[in-house]
Chains A and B, each alone.
Chain A
Amino acid sequence: MVNLLFPLGITNYIVGGILIGLGVSMIFLLTGIRAGASSFFSSTISYFSNKEYFQRKLYTTTRVWRIVFTLGLIVGAFLFTITFNNGQFFTTNVQWWRLALGGFLVGFGTRFSRGCTSGHGICGLASFSLSSFLAVITFLIIAIFTAFIVGSLGVIP
């Protein structure tokens, strides 16, 4: 049964999830910030765009630490690759047009929603936010539905 639901085993998922939780926890314990990933895009745009929306304090006062947080994400994944993964890097086979179109919708949607899998998902759920709970249920159901349509059109992976 476990093999059927988790063909790659469950250890990686559980350990990885614990590490993610510890990272978010550490940031809250030390700085009091509930760190999500998607605001990074809007806050970084504030360096380049004078549009009123991007120049709000929400972004201009957080853009430095959001870049530092993102660098942490990248370096952390890199350290995993050169240690536990024996230096084996990875390149996706997902087609460029899916990355481009999907990425655009992810950028637009997460900013319109003000949260993504980490902001609404981890931080919002852990804060008992009803708004985040509804957002998480919505994007999970819609994403599963969409992925099934993509798969049924014969698009692989």
Chain B
Amino acid sequence: MKPLQLVSIFLGGLLFGFGLAFSGMTQPEIVLSFLQLRDLGLLLVLGMATGITLITYQLVKKSIKKPLVSKSFSPYPSIIRKDAIIGAVIFGIGWGISGLCPGSALASIGIGNMPILIGIGGMFLGAYVQGAYFSKKTS
């Protein structure tokens, strides 16, 4: 991958991480307060982020033929897969227990939240067990 592409991804990630911290989503306590329906803020965060992304995806694909520093847009698979739902159930249980989801847990390192490394270690282990023992050969 070209340096310019990596710089683009780094800067996009930087904005993403800044926004996660700004919104408080890097604090598991605030995420849990949403999951226990004491503060609906997470829905505002997800809604704003999705809304802006949706507009960008539409505008960008209509106005330019290729991304500014790459050759083509990556496709998005739209087939319905049973695994997407089974995985979502397991993810939901883990999210409800801990208040952690991947992006906010990784960004949480940046706010100095060192216990989060236990959660990230768990995520690596979970991803390993999934890939090594519960993946299908095809797809």
Instruction: Point out the residues of chain B lying under 8 angstroms from A38, CB to CB.
Output: 102-103, 123, 127
| A127 and B78 contact, CB distance less than 8 A | yes
Contact A15–B94 (Cβ < 8 Å): no
Q: Which of A121-139 contact B (CB under 8 A)?
A: 121-132, 134-136, 138-139
B-side interface mostly: helix
Contact A80 B24 (CB under 8 A): no
CB <8 Å contact, B9 and A25: no
Quick one: which of A33, A106, A126 contacts B98, CB cutoff 8 A?
A106
- Given A12-B24, A23-B16, A6 and B53 contact (CB-CB distance below 8 Å): no
Partner of B97 from A10, A33, A42, A101 at Cβ < 8 Å: A101
The reply to whether B8 and A77 form a contact with Cβ atoms under 8 Å apart is no
CB-CB under 8 A from A145, the residues of chain B are 92, 96
Question: If A25-B52, A30-B69, A105-B93 touch, does A144 touch B60 (CB 8 Å cutoff)?
Answer: no
Q: Are A89 and B112 in contact (CB under 8 A)?
A: yes
Residues in B with CB closer than 8 Å to A80 are: 17-18, 21-22, 110-111
Compute how far the CA of A138 lies from the CA of B10 in the bound complex, rounded to whole angstroms.
31
Chain B residues with CB under 8 A of A33: 9, 70, 74
Q: Answer whether A126 and B90 are a contact pair too, CB < 8 Å, given A6-B41, A31-B69, A117-B103.
A: no
Task: Give per-residue flags for A74-105: 1 if the beta carbon is below 8 A from chain B beta carbons, else 0.
Answer: 11111111001100011111101011111111
**Which residues of A sit under 8 angstroms from B26, Cβ to Cβ?**
77, 90
Take A30-B70, A104-B125, A131-B78 as given contacts and tell me if A77 and B20 are in contact as well, using a CB distance cutoff of 8 Å. yes
Chain B interface category by residue count: 35 or more
- Given that A35-B9, A74-B107, A111-B130 are known contacts, is A129 also in contact with B91, CB under 8 Å in the complex? no
Q: Are B6 and A68 in contact (CB under 8 A)?
A: yes
The reply to whether A92 and B103 form a contact with Cβ atoms under 8 Å apart is no
Q: Are A74 and B130 in contact (CB under 8 A)?
A: no
In Å, the complex CA distance between A105 and B124 comes to 10
Q: With the chains together, A72 CA to B117 CA distance in Å? A: 17
Complex CA gap A149/B1 in Å reads 46
Which residues in B have some Cβ–Cβ distance to A below 8 Å? 1, 5-6, 8-30, 32, 35-42, 44-54, 56-57, 60, 66-74, 76-81, 83-116, 118-132, 134-135, 137
- A: residues with CB less than 8 A from B are 5-8, 10, 12-38, 40-42, 44-45, 49, 51-54, 64-65, 68-81, 84-85, 89-94, 96, 98-118, 120-132, 134-136, 138-151, 157
Please name 16 pairs of A and B residues whose Cβ atoms are closer than 8 Å in the assembled complex, sorted by A: A8-B24, A17-B45, A20-B23, A30-B68, A31-B8, A90-B26, A100-B119, A102-B98, A102-B99, A106-B123, A110-B102, A113-B87, A121-B46, A144-B96, A147-B97, A151-B36
